[in-house]
Structure 1
């Protein structure tokens, strides 16, 4: 467990195990929290757990799940991951922790994944040819995962072999999940992948914007590609998102630039070019204009 861990990931895992125990009628599944910095640890959203000290090769359990959250220091828990591997016991590493694992392990012969946002950052900073955007990848007992909203389904999949078919169905019903997505399913990458949240034409427009960050298109060309006039295009965005298409597009690019600045060591000029700006000064200008924009729209 990391300092400032992901409350969503922790709660998803514990909720699944508690529900599974109720389904089978006994305490089949037990868990404990361990950390390189033991004691009371607070999550991003205020959840507090008491963590025991993590000794890398002591009291190994059947599963190890490393949750993400903020800045991840893998120097301690990576040793425990290796100890679990030597013992032939599976490990699941989620979101930010998966990103840290990939940076250190630099796998070259087996697939790995993390949250799609970090996949883009990793590809900008190095050659990771085995990196995928699937919800999870299992390689030699080490499961890397997008975590976050997929954590509940991942937890179900980890204990599925210990449950009968009827018990698994009841668990899904208790957790109110209609379908447990396979880890091989692609992550919903970008805002445009969130079905039923946008008008179909807006969804297509946002998808085009997200596909053309380093080589931005004119809004008139985007309107042409989805088969509507520029006037109707602008009206759609103003009606549904209270923002112009151009400003929305700029926000997507500025957010990508911000992620690269915070999470990589790329030079500012490289970041500017990767997000469709010809110079550092033009990127800086975009940042300033974005800060001056009204607090409105889906990406504000």
Structure 2
């Protein structure tokens, strides 16, 4: 997993969808908050630094203007977010500032209707792109030099475009997979879809595992999640998954680059961390609820995995 910080800059326009923004931002927040999560940072900005209002009337005050942020450091992902009223946003000022910021960006993403703005900035000429399905036909008519696609999201070089909220979530999980590996995308998606076994038909959750044995892995993870408080042996997990213990070990290494035992422990320690952050339960109770034989056993495993202690986490919470 790369240790380099991945920097995302979100550029919001009036009329953006709250759901679209959340679908882009929350997976990053969730990934950063994972045990040993990747280094991710983000800023929310507007073209001139003024507050912006969503389609549902929610007003957001940005961190800064786009030029203030883009001039400070290079951007890994410049994410342009627009919704209703997109035809009003392709002004000369917008074009100039986005084109300038694009020079500092390794990737440029247009989500929901933002491909229209990128088209106005002449960034998509000769490239494949997509947009919210309601705008597909008019987008194709307006920009005949763009190869308009009905795919859920499209990457053509450094330019990436997608449609609405569900496709944005799919895109962000794809980016997490590319940058940090399928295990991170898998863990993030399971924060939004808990039942890895029974909801695997959705385009989320364990479908993000690309190796062989995906069905066995989904069943195994589902079994582990259901037995956090009372852990069972890996032999029992393999039996519930419908495979041999040797096969179970192979599919975990192929898909998640770790042993099933390590992953099972990470699930339990993640739950312990959540309880430490969100409750005042004594350490003994947390150990009991996460299947550790004693407070000391939990503390040793927690410190070794997270390089911190439950006591330190609780002190930080108290300070906040």
Alpha-carbon shift at residue 84 of structure 1 (Å): 4.9
| Shift in alpha-carbon separation, 1:105–1:93, aligned structure 2, 3 A | same
| TM-score normalised according to structure 1 size | 0.53
Q: 1:200 matched to which residue of 2?
A: none
Alpha-carbon shift at residue 113 of structure 1 (Å): 1.4
Structure 2 counterparts to residues 18-57 of structure 1, below 5 A: 18-26=29-37, 28-51=39-62, 52-55=64-67, 57=70
Q: 1:151 matched to which residue of 2?
A: 168
Aligned partner of residue 105 in structure 1, secondary structure: coil
> Aligned equivalents of 1:111 and 1:8: distance in 2?
25
Structure 2 counterparts to residues 276-295 of structure 1, below 5 A: none
Deviates more, 1:49-58 or 1:135-144: 49-58
List runs of 5+ in structure 1 lacking aligned partners.
Answer: 183-300
Q: Contact 1:33 / 1:49 at 8 angstroms: preserved in 2?
A: no
Q: 1:61 matched to which residue of 2?
A: 75
Structure 2 counterparts to residues 111-190 of structure 1, below 5 A: 111-125=128-142, 127-128=144-145, 130-176=147-193, 178=200, 179-180=203-204
Alpha-carbon shift at residue 157 of structure 1 (Å): 1.8
Q: Contact 1:63 / 1:90 at 8 angstroms: preserved in 2?
A: yes
Determine whether 1:74 maps to 2:86: no
Aligned partner of residue 31 in structure 1, secondary structure: strand
| TM-score normalised according to structure 2 size | 0.50
Residue by residue over 1:51-80, the C-alpha shift from the partner in whole angstroms, topping out at 9 and shown as x without a partner, is: 111118513422110011222313444445
Alpha-carbon shift at residue 26 of structure 1 (Å): 4.9
> Aligned equivalents of 1:2 and 1:40: distance in 2?
9
- Identify, as 1 or 2, the structure richer in strand: 2
| Shift in alpha-carbon separation, 1:130–1:50, aligned structure 2, 3 A | same
Determine whether 1:14 maps to 2:30: no
Alpha-carbon shift at residue 131 of structure 1 (Å): 1.3
| Shift in alpha-carbon separation, 1:116–1:163, aligned structure 2, 3 A | same
Q: Contact 1:138 / 1:144 at 8 angstroms: preserved in 2?
A: yes
Structure 2 counterparts to residues 255-274 of structure 1, below 5 A: none
RMSD of aligned Cα (Å): 2.8
Aligned partner of residue 44 in structure 1, secondary structure: coil
Q: Contact 2:98 / 2:121 at 8 angstroms: preserved in 1?
A: no
| Shift in alpha-carbon separation, 1:44–1:107, aligned structure 2, 3 A | closer
> Aligned equivalents of 2:124 and 2:183: distance in 1?
38
> Aligned equivalents of 1:39 and 1:68: distance in 2?
15
